[in-house]
Structure 1
């Protein structure tokens, strides 16, 4: 049976099964993860916003990163919590495409944010004398705006292409809506979708390569200097590179699961792999930056120890 992807249709998320009373355990685990993500990211956003000493480009980009963690998590967890307790894991087509938009823009914003952060550190370490002149408040605002606007436009085009497809099925074998899974259900020609998807992926890979180049230049400059410079390189690059590697690995797991036959892998493993890039990063980043950046640690302690009576 053929149907239009965006009008009068719904999708069934086939990765949900009958778990009996275990569903309440899963609900508690997922809810705990979600509220932990909210608490950790909101805390760091507040710390950066209320401390004027942190109103510097690097910390403003970090604030944008933490806001994106909240945005992406809110596009994933509420629906998962509803479907865990629901007897019918069905989702309307408009809501499904909205979730795809949020999740995909989250991923794109993540890479864009990491690219902006790498550019900021590149200027600060490779061209320190020009840093204040080149990284102005206006430029920071422009970079943050581009970090959010470019993914919104790019993913908006992707969604419009997918929503116009004629589909011959409505089962998505995941716990959340996925654009590639919808394209695989199409009866109509998907050449434009595939070309656009490859182009967008190539642009993302180019963004990742620019991040790697920036940190390679930073390491080259710092390790050719004094011991203090090497320590600065390690403290500067470690959290950013760890965040990039963690998120890139999660995206790689997702690509492998989409592109290859994973039916020989258990459903539980596939669910964990598909959720890794959407859950670990929002938990990983607050802990990573909160523990590694001394200014954030100090500001957190001051905020949490503040006496409300004074």
Structure 2
């Protein structure tokens, strides 16, 4: 089979008046990217430097924030280059690679949130068995699977798309998301079925599992004393806020692809920028403010005189 079409350039047409505002776009997104890296990496470093934060809950938070850095890095460098370029293009193979990183890391977020919900369930509902349930080995295996499983599933989708002939060479977006499916000449039933199975495994089931575990936590909390309820509120609320935030942004991402012909170009751009900007900044703010132990270390780091 001739693979020449896989070397073709895909034009990204989602930018709005980039010729006029290229330096404004570049500056805003560069500042956002720097903030994402600094905010997330600060909390990750604090967790690894302080021994009292070497608990499963904080290790999962560190993994989630590290995932946000990786997730943003799949988008921002190319986006910044495009803002300064005369034409915004990407090869089909590079587009599929960006698609792979974007969705595998996005799915890892759901699995990490599911792992965090189980950690909270074990801590609150089975406190006497917690240390035997959440061992260092268990945490390590869960973290590895949270990145490995989505990567393997999304890789299959990329392989199924790699050899398909292209009939379209323009993408109505600023990076390669699920709109890439619309470039191929025919829809693959195998790809569609496997895509549905993948979506169920890395999005639907984790969300259902999170709902189940938090339902159990709330039931136990209301049946217990005020101390248990306080602990549940302090540790579970940030996770729930992050879950709701990320789920809403995933709905945005799906909506952009499904409604792209009906949405104005500016509305598509704003929704897309929210997907890649809002959530990676939201995570460290929520965990930095709402998690008491992390908040204490942040205050010591930035306001040492007050702590003294």
Give the TM-score taking structure 2 as reference length: 0.94
Equivalent residue number for residue 23 of structure 1: 22
Secondary structure of the equivalent of 1:7? helix
Q: Is the 8 A contact 2:154 2:198 kept in 1?
A: no
Return the offset for 1:162. 1.1
Runs of at least 5 residues in structure 1 that lack an aligned partner in the other structure: none
For residues 257 and 96 of structure 1, what CA distance do their matches in structure 2 show? 17
1:263 paired to 2:261: yes
Return the offset for 1:17. 4.2
Equivalences for residues 280-299 of structure 1 within 5 A: 280-299=278-297
Deviations 1:238-259, CA, capped at 9 Å, x for gaps? 1011000000011011112222
For residues 217 and 5 of structure 2, what CA distance do their matches in structure 1 show? 47
Secondary structure of the equivalent of 2:19? coil
For residues 204 and 160 of structure 2, what CA distance do their matches in structure 1 show? 22
Equivalent residue number for residue 198 of structure 2: 200
For residues 2 and 40 of structure 2, what CA distance do their matches in structure 1 show? 40
1:300 paired to 2:289: no
For residues 305 and 117 of structure 1, what CA distance do their matches in structure 2 show? 30
Return the offset for 1:265. 2.6
1:97 paired to 2:96: yes
When residues 3 and 292 of structure 1 are mapped into structure 2, their CA distance, relative to the original with a 3 A threshold, is: farther
For residues 5 and 63 of structure 2, what CA distance do their matches in structure 1 show? 31
Secondary structure of the equivalent of 2:6? coil
Equivalent residue number for residue 183 of structure 2: 185
For residues 150 and 306 of structure 1, what CA distance do their matches in structure 2 show? 42
Q: Tell me how many residue pairs correspond in the alignment.
A: 304
Q: Provide the alpha-carbon RMSD of the alignment.
A: 1.8
Runs of at least 5 residues in structure 2 that lack an aligned partner in the other structure: none
Return the offset for 1:228. 2.2
Secondary structure of the equivalent of 1:184? helix
For residues 58 and 286 of structure 1, what CA distance do their matches in structure 2 show? 15
Equivalent residue number for residue 237 of structure 1: 236
When residues 5 and 114 of structure 1 are mapped into structure 2, their CA distance, relative to the original with a 3 A threshold, is: farther
For residues 162 and 285 of structure 2, what CA distance do their matches in structure 1 show? 38
Give the TM-score taking structure 1 as reference length: 0.93
For residues 158 and 83 of structure 1, what CA distance do their matches in structure 2 show? 26
When residues 232 and 80 of structure 1 are mapped into structure 2, their CA distance, relative to the original with a 3 A threshold, is: same
